[in-house]
Structures are given as structure tokens and as C-alpha cells.
Amino acid sequence: MRDFIEELKATDDVVGFMMEHRRETVKLVAIVVGLMTVLLLFLYRGGDEVDIRDTAQNPGTEESVEGASADAGTDQSGQTEGSDSGVDMGNGDVYVDIGGAVKTPMLAKLPSGSRVEDAIQEAGGLDSDADISQINRAEMLTDGQKIYIPKKGEVAGGAAFDGSSGATGSGGSSASATGKVNINTADLTQLQSLNGVGPVTAQKIIDYRTQSGRFTSIDDIKNVSGIGDKTFENMRDQITV
């Protein structure tokens, strides 16, 4: 075959020479085709190997990015929940002033996330004449909150007042000295006395304050689903916190 190639290089009539030596020509063509096939196959497999390595690396990178995003989302979610609840998450403790029909009225220090029931137990529990129908023992505490536990038969307004807006504490009377409904302590029936509030909306108000903590201003009631600006304006003069 080497001699054939040398003679092919030396001839001036390549076509005629190849026609004359058909067998050798066929062999040469077969060898060239075989070499090209091997080369193409090598290049093809080489390209696949690169793609496979890239593919193996990329998912790991994407997974890391997604994992970081998920962690960031969790942190942001946690911060948002802390803000919505109104609970002081800074040093892990809240201070509340609990009085009224409890064994030991006191300034109580409790872990953040505690509820009214925890403050009651810290104060030694309820007196025998405590009226628990007027309090929401599941409400989450906020730092600096005033909690007043009324006695049975105690008239509305007999709880602690701040001198301006009526009852100041969760668990106090549901009505202020001016006759307004305290949206932090009112029960289902009392909430339905508000303009535009029926049984469903009244329950939403109770659910909201149980899950998110007390209302810090009357405007916060607009955070309750179903209470828009129009409904709020109709009840503005009837409510207090």
C-alpha cells in the first residue's frame, strides 16, 4: 500500500492511475474513511464527556444557590412573623403588668411568645371570683402590655384605664369609659355590635388577634380580612384598643 501511495503521488494522471489500480484504490478509500470515522467518533465522544462534566457540576451549583435562597427565605419569613406578632424578639423576654383577679398582681417577666395564660400562671393563677369570659387567654403577649383580669359582676370600665383610650390590657373589660368596644378583648357578641360586622367577620377579628397579637391601634383592624377602608370608617368611632 505504501508503494501504491508513492506511485499515486508521482503520477500526473491520478484518475487514470486509480482506475488502473482499482483494488488498491478501494483499500485506500476504505482506510481513509475508517480513519475519518474514528476521528469523528473520538470528537463526538469527547464533546459528550465535556457536556456530562458540565452537567454534573451545574446542578450542584444550582442546588447550592437554591438552597441559599431557601435559607434566606426562611430567615425573612421568620423576621416577618416576629414583626406581625408584635412580640419583642430582641432579647427573648417580654415584661407585662398583670393585675385584677389574680393571686399575685405583679410585673411579670416571660419568654417572648408567651400568652396571657402564661402571665396568669406566673401571677399565681386566677382568684375564685375571676370572670374568664371576658379574657382571651390564648392571646400572645407584647412587651409593656397591661393585663387586667376582671372579677365576676364587674361592670364595663371597671378595669384599668390609661386615662384616654379606655382599657389598656388584654383580658380587661371589652368596653371603655366612653362606651367604645375594645377590639383586643371583645367577644364574638360584642364585636357584632360594630357597624358592618357580622358573625364571620367577628370571628376573623378574634382569630387575627389570637394568631398575631393585640391590636396596637384601631387602624390595625384593617389587617383583618374583610375589613376595608369603608367598613373601618363606619366603625372608627365605635372602637378602641
Confidence of residue 161 (pLDDT cuts 50, 70, 90): very low
Q: 154 and 81 in one domain?
A: no
Q: Distances in Å between the alpha carbon of 226 and those of 16, 55, 145, 199?
A: 96, 50, 27, 12
Q: Distances in Å between the alpha carbon of 83 and those of 90, 139, 236, 239, 241?
A: 11, 16, 25, 24, 19
Amino acid occupying residue 126: L
Q: 103 and 220 in one domain?
A: yes
Q: 146 and 78 in one domain?
A: no
Confidence of residue 44 (pLDDT cuts 50, 70, 90): low
Predicted local distance difference test score (pLDDT) of residue 164: 32
Cα 237 to chain center, whole Å? 34
Predicted TM-score (pTM) of the model is 0.35
- Residue pair 157/176 in contact by the 8 Å Cβ criterion: yes
Distance CA 156, CA 234 (A): 23
- Residue pair 100/151 in contact by the 8 Å Cβ criterion: yes
- Residue pair 102/117 in contact by the 8 Å Cβ criterion: no
Predicted local distance difference test score (pLDDT) of residue 123: 95
Q: 155 and 79 in one domain?
A: no
Q: 198 and 153 in one domain?
A: yes
Domain that holds residue 104: 93-240
Which of residues 24 and 176 earns the better pLDDT score? 24
Number of residues that make up the chain: 241
Q: Among 56, 85, 114, which residue terminates a domain?
A: 85
Distance CA 182, CA 134 (A): 11
Predicted local distance difference test score (pLDDT) of residue 143: 86
Number of domains, the chain: 2
Q: 231 and 207 in one domain?
A: yes
Q: 212 and 156 in one domain?
A: yes
Predicted local distance difference test score (pLDDT) of residue 21: 67
Q: 121 and 64 in one domain?
A: no
The residue-averaged pLDDT of 105-123 equals 94
Q: Among 25, 56, 85, which residue terminates a domain?
A: 85
Q: Among 42, 60, 85, which residue terminates a domain?
A: 85
CATH number at residue 208: 1.10.150.320
Q: 126 and 27 in one domain?
A: no
What SS3 state is found at 154? coil
